[in-house]
C-alpha cells in the first residue's frame, strides 16, 4: 500500500486549510459578532480622529501624500470581520457600520470623510475575498483585503481633491496601500489567530484547528 510522504501530507493539509468550503448563509452569531467588531472598530476610528491631527500634519510635512501611511487605522474593520466571520458581505458590513458609528459620535470629517469613504473602503476590502468566491481565507487574502481597502481610501480622497498634483496622488496611494497591508492585513491576520488560540472563535470556521494556517 502506498503511503504518502510526510511532505505531501503536509502540502495537502495546507491546501485544505487555506481554501475552505464556501458557506454563504449568515447565522445570528455571525451578525452579532460582525456588529460587535464594527462597533469596537468605530469607537477606535473615533478615538483616532481625536488624536490624528498632529501625526497627519507631521507626515504631510515630510512630503505631501505621506499621511496616507496612517490610513490603516481606519481600514481594519472590514478585513477583521471578514476573516473571523467568513461570510460574503462581512467586510462591507463591518467597515460601513464602523464608519457610521464614527460619524455619529462626531468628528471633523463629515459624511463624506466618514461614511462615504467607509463604504468605499469596505467594498475594496470585500473584493479581495469575492475574487476567490469567499473560499480562500488566509494571510494572503487578508493582506489583499487591507491593500484594496487602502486603494478605496485613496480613490475617495483623490476624487475629492482635484488640486492634488501627481506626486502627492502617487505618494498617497503608496502610503495607503502600505498602511492597509500592515495594519489592516498583517496585524489583523495575527490578531485573528491570537483570538482563535484563546478559543473565543470556536463557533466559527476561523477558530477551528483546520483554519489555523
pLDDT for 169: 98
Residue 136 contacts residue 18 (beta carbons within 8 Å) = yes
Which pLDDT score, from 0 to 100, does residue 52 have? 96
Per-residue pLDDT, 1: 45
pLDDT band at residue 212 using 50, 70 and 90 as cut-offs: very low
Please, what is the average pLDDT of the chain?
90
pLDDT at 21: 63
Has residue 137 got a pLDDT over 70?
yes
For residue 19, name the pLDDT band (cuts at 50, 70, 90). low
Q: Where are the domains of the chain?
A: 26-211
> Which residue matches cell numbers 487574502?
141
Q: Give the three-class secondary structure for 132.
A: coil
First CA to last CA distance, the chain: 30
- Pairwise CA distance, residues 189 & 206, whole Å: 11
Q: What is the per-residue pLDDT for 8?
A: 46
Question: Which band of pLDDT confidence, cut at 50, 70 and 90, is reported for residue 130?
Answer: very high
- pLDDT in the model for residue 20: 54
Residue 6, pLDDT > 70, answer: no
- 3-class state of residue 30 by DSSP: helix
pLDDT surpasses 80 at 210: no
**Spatial distance between the Cα atoms of 180 and 70, rounded to a whole number of angstroms:** 9
pLDDT of residue 34 exceeding 80, the answer is: yes
Q: Is 11 helix (H, G, I), strand (E, B) or coil?
A: helix
* Class of CATH domain 26-211: mainly alpha
pTM as predicted: 0.85
Confidence band, pLDDT 50/70/90 cuts, at residue 47: very high
pLDDT at position 23 is: 75
Q: Would you give the distance in Å from CA 112 to the centre of its chain?
A: 19
- What percentage of the chain carries pLDDT values higher than 90? 81
Q: Is the pLDDT of residue 18 over 90?
A: no
Pick the more confident residue, 77 or 8.
77
Rounded mean pLDDT of 115-127? 98
Amino acid at each position: 500500500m502506498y503511503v504518502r510522504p510526510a511532505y505531501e501530507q503536509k502540502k495537502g493539509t495546507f491546501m485544505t486549510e487555506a481554501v475552505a468550503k464556501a458557506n454563504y448563509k449568515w447565522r445570528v452569531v455571525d451578525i452579532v459578532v460582525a456588529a460587535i467588531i464594527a462597533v469596537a472598530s468605530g469607537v477606535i476610528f473615533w478615538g483616532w480622529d481625536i488624536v490624528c491631527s498632529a501625526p497627519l500634519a507631521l507626515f504631510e510635512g515630510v512630503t505631501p501624500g505621506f499621511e496616507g501611511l496612517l490610513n490603516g487605522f481606519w481600514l481594519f474593520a472590514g478585513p477583521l470581520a471578514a476573516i473571523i466571520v467568513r461570510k460574503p458581505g462581512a467586510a462591507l458590513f463591518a467597515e460601513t457600520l464602523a464608519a457610521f458609528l464614527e460619524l455619529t459620535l462626531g468628528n471633523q470629517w463629515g459624511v463624506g470623510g466618514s461614511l462615504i469613504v467607509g463604504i468605499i473602503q469596505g467594498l475594496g476590502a470585500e473584493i479581495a475575498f469575492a475574487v476567490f468566491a469567499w473560499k480562500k481565507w488566509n494571510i494572503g487574502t487578508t493582506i489583499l483585503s487591507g491593500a484594496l481597502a487602502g486603494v478605496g481610501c485613496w480613490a475617495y480622497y483623490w476624487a475629492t481633491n482635484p488640486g492634488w498634483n501627481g506626486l502627492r496622488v502617487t505618494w498617497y496611494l503608496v502610503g495607503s496601500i502600505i498602511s492597509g497591508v500592515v495594519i489592516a492585513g498583517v496585524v489583523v491576520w495575527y490578531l485573528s489567530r491570537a483570538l482563535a488560540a484563546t478559543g473565543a472563535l470556536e463557533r466559527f470556521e476561523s477558530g477551528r484547528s483546520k483554519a489555523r494556517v
